[in-house]
Amino acid sequence: LPQAPSAGIAIGFDAGPDAPEDGPFVAGERVDVSLTIPPELTGGYLFAVAISVTDEVVPLLPNRRAGQDNAVAALRDGADGAVTVQLPTLEVDPSLYGRNAILVLHADSQIFDGMRPTESVASFAEALAQRAVPIRALDSRILVTAPRR
């Protein structure tokens, strides 16, 4: 993965009032993933993925299926200050117990042409290495999953 400083993007998890905010999240739970964009981040583009314990990379943003753009200005929708953006909900699969990661990249222009497919970490890393756009920032958070409590 590229070396880059943090943009200060907070990655939030919420699986309901009975689930702990930091996990572990259990099989069958649906975890809402959100990004809080700091006030000083007003331009460029965000690209978010989930990286599973099976080394699978699942794109979360842009999310064309939900009509969600990845331009920071579009995500802010004219709002000042910190802005929270909802990403697709993840369902905890029993085959994915362990430490999964949510990764958010920030660049001045589009990192990729459109939405990436679900792919291996190796394929994703190769695509990142071939990009012409410098990554300005990288934020991440670990999503811990486990068997039922």
As a whole number of Å, the CA-based R_g of the chain is 15
Dump pLDDT digits (tens) for 103-148: 999 999 999 887 889 999 999 999 999 988 899 999 999 999 988 7
Residues 26, 148 contacting (CB under 8 angstroms): yes
Helix (H) or strand (E) holding 8: none
Q: Name the DSSP letter for residue 75.
A: H
Centre a 10 Å sphere on the Cβ of residue 123 and count the other Cβ atoms it contains: 15
Q: Which amino acid is at 27?
A: A
Q: Is the pTM of this model over 0.85?
A: yes
